Structure 1
Amino acid sequence: MYLRVSHDFKEKLEVIEYHELHGMSATLDKFYPGTHGNARRAKSKKIRDWLKLRFQVEEIGQSSRSNLRKARAKGVGASLSPETEDNIVQWVKDMRDDDIPVATIMLQLKARDLAQEQGISTDQFKASKDWANSFRNRHGFTLRQKTRQGQDKEDGAQIDLEKFSDRVRTIIQTHNIKKVFNANQTGVNYEYLPKTTVHPRGAKTVWIRCGGRDKDRATAMLLGDSEGRKYPVFVVLKQRKSTVAATVKANMQLRHGFGVHVWKDVEPLMEQWPSLQFLRFHFGNRSETNEKVLLLWDDFSGHFTPKVQAVARELNVLLEKVPPRFTWICQPADVAWNKPFKSQLRWFWINSLMAQLEAHRCAADESVIVNGFRKTKLLFDDLEAPDVDSADTTDDALVDMLAQTMGHLHVVNDCMVSSRMSVFD
């Protein structure tokens, strides 16, 4: 038998309401029968304490928190002072007023920075996800997610997986294959906006400011084998558009947007050139050229042209198609590699977002501020404001991000590859 027993607020509220109608003696008999002497007097004292806190008991007992046994005031047990949390609240509101997304990691980084300013070390205050959840609840924030459409899991996936697995095992046994490779193409976006943003409760529509390039991307070609080895990543970048208006017009009218030199070889470039370079780079210099290996990759037309298959035979590589409708369950890369790869890229993008915003705000010198007035024609000065250089540096930014994610990048025949990879960890 326990000497001390705690009671939830639902029970406390029921006891108070019954006591109001029937008195103390009847309440003790109903809720705590069999108590006598000192135990009965202790229960009586506890009920009187609940009566003194009747407003709090009613508030919590009638809410979704009625199962709680204890309640403490906001801020109790927190490492950050109420003033510091108010600063974070204002920071979130300022960011959202500018339609800038505030991911949970951004909230945590901001809290850690302010904690360090107060002399609180990261060992004392980690700004964990639990703290972030509590912070949102305390200050009336919620997480909002971008609306999107998804594809339902198709019927028959498990059956196709069994057929594909049996076919691959048959090939392995027939050709005495010791190593199986899986290659996969995946998009690397120029923008990795947070999937969720902190926002005050109640808003039906939440807007997020972006650079308008969330659909623009390069192509990353991943490769791994059945022994767990990770291979250099190919990143295929698009050619930059011409800045000459006449050239752009001619390209659109005559060459579907392609330049003069690319248009001459556009068909092999689109169909098989990346596949040929990929095979030669990864399998052209392997030491066990006499041993056959199996390469599983997507059922793309450019992966199985006669020239690609001829090069694969020269390199002693057997090519096998992954079922196109069920890559999410049949392809090792889709099952296990892609999510960590995309998560790391998104983490690097979001982690640098706050620094970019701070640098942008601090970089505005006097000339930039004056230009704002001139552009809006609010000055009597006849001098025109110089145009801001809008040179497209997106590819360079993408290369920097990939370099942090995958290691040092090298250019090989217009494809960028990494000498090492850490994206599958």
Structure 2
Amino acid sequence: MTEYFNNIKDVVENIDPENIYNYDETNVTDDPGSTRVERVQEHSKMAISLMMCGNAAGTLLPPFVVYKAQNLYENWVARGPAGVKYAATKSGWFDMETFERWFFEIFIPHTADKPGVKVLVRDNLASHFSVDVVNKAKEANIYFTSLPPNTTHLTQPLDVAFFRPAKIMWKSILDKWRVESRLQGTIPKEIFPSLLLSLLNQLKPNTPKNLASGFRACGLCP
């Protein structure tokens, strides 16, 4: 940890908070912690992966969604938040191709007009990197900084201040949707974008404060 902070201090010390980012892959399920036994059968543990990214100034970029499926259908991407991108993989997790899409379709467009060096703080997922990502990072003055292994609960801003309230809110949204829709089992994928929109809208008032406090708590900015 000491070595990590000694190294990262030189990287982030003079960089604008708007240019210090943390990204991480998480997932949302259709059973985010059931508390009543009789409700367990109503859920399928379907998981959808999200790449989330925010900066120390409190700005959250649009998510990138990955479904576990062979193909991606038009009605799976409708009525969601503005700017969100979608993909499908056999595993339901990000691979090199989907990470490259996130980097070029979300991160680069949202940061291209910001002058100066950009820093992307991440856990150790170098397997996601393609040659094109590395070359573009060099060209655009983007630096990747890895977190120490097994420390993301202490060192990653998204873990510290964003994901927990997001998961709590997601459970509340699902509970309300199930009551209103009277549907059991797996959430239809064509419904997911609208639920994601509801999640981000409900988180929005506190997102800037939560992100900034996460970077502060992790010792990254200031």
TM-score over 0.5 for the alignment? yes
Which residue in the other structure is 2:40 paired with?
Answer: 209
Q: Report the Cα offset of residue 393 of structure 1.
A: 6.2
Cα distance in 2, alignment partners of residues 399 and 307 from structure 1: 29
Contact 2:50 2:65 in 1 (8 A): yes
2:21 aligns with: 181
After TM superposition, give the deviation of residue 305 of structure 1 in Å. Answer: 3.9
Q: Does 1:300 align with 2:94?
A: no
Q: Secondary structure of the equivalent of 1:299?
A: coil
Q: Which of 271, 287, 307 is equivalent to 2:113?
A: 287
User: RMSD of aligned C-alpha atoms?
Assistant: 3.1
**1:353 and 2:178 correspond:** yes
**2:118 & 2:166 partners in 1: Cα distance?**
25
| Structure 1 residue identity aligned to 2:167 | K
Q: 1:227 aligns to what?
A: 57
SS at match of 1:325: coil
The structure whose Rg is larger is 1
Say whether 1:404 aligns with 2:160: no
**d(CA) in 2 for partners of 1:235, 1:423:** 22
2:140 to 315, 319, 325: 315
Instruction: Summarize deviations over 1:181-238 as a string: whole Å, max 9, x none.
Output: 11111111133353x23xxxxxxxx554324521x21111111111122221111222
One-letter amino acid of the counterpart of residue 210, structure 1:
Q
Look up the match of 2:169.
344
CA 270–339 in structure 1, closer or farther in 2 if over 3 Å, else same? closer
Helix, strand or coil at the partner of 1:324: coil
Q: Secondary structure at the residue paired with 2:68?
A: coil
1:171 equivalenced with 2:11 (yes/no): yes
The C-alpha deviation readout for 1:7-44, integer Å capped at 9, x for no partner, is xxxxxxxxxxxxxxxxxxxxxxxxxxxxxxxxxxxxxx
CA 1:182/1:209 → structure 2, altered by over 3 Å: closer, same or farther?
Answer: closer
Letter in 1 for 2:62: P
Alpha-carbon distance, 1:333 to partner: 0.6
Identity of aligned residues (%): 18
Name the aligned partner's letter for residue 209 of structure 1: V
For residues 248-397 of structure 1, the aligned pairs below 5 Å read 271-280=95-104, 281-284=106-109, 286-289=112-115, 291-357=116-182, 394-397=188-191
Higher fraction of strand: 2
Q: TM-score, structure 1 length as denominator?
A: 0.39
Cα deviation, residue 312, structure 1: 1.4
Alpha-carbon contact 2:25-2:49 (below 8 Å) kept: yes
Q: What is the DSSP-based 3-state SS (H/G/I as helix, E as strand, rest coil) of the residue aligned with 2:150?
A: helix
* Runs of 4+ with >4 A deviation: 420-423
Per-residue deviation at 1:313? 1.4
Change (3 A) 1:400 1:191: farther
- Secondary structure of the residue that 1:210 maps to in structure 2? helix
Tell me the equivalent position of 2:74: none
Structure ranking higher on relative contact order (CA contacts 8 Å, 6+ apart): 2
Shift of 1:318: 0.4
Number of aligned pairs?
185
Q: Secondary structure at the match of 1:396?
A: coil
The answer as to whether partners of 2:23 and 2:158 remain within 8 angstroms in 1 is yes
Rounded Cα–Cα distance in structure 1 between residues aligned with 2:40 and 2:28: 20
Q: Deviations over 1:237-293 (max 9, x none)?
A: 22257xxxxxxxxxxxxxxxxxxxx99xx9xx964222222222222452134x111
Three-state SS of the structure 1 residue aligned to 2:21 is: strand
8 Å Cα contact 1:299/1:322 also seen in 2: yes
2:85 aligned residue: none
**Whole-angstrom distance in 1 between the partners of 2:101 and 2:204:** 19
CA distance in 1, matches of 2:152, 2:144: 16
Write the distance in 1 (CA, Å) between the matches of 2:189 and 2:145: 33
Residue type matched to 2:113 in 1? S
Verify: 1:237 aligned to 2:64, yes or no. no
Gaps of 5+ in 1: 1-159, 198-205, 242-261, 361-389, 408-419
Question: How far did residue 299 of structure 1 move?
Answer: 1.0
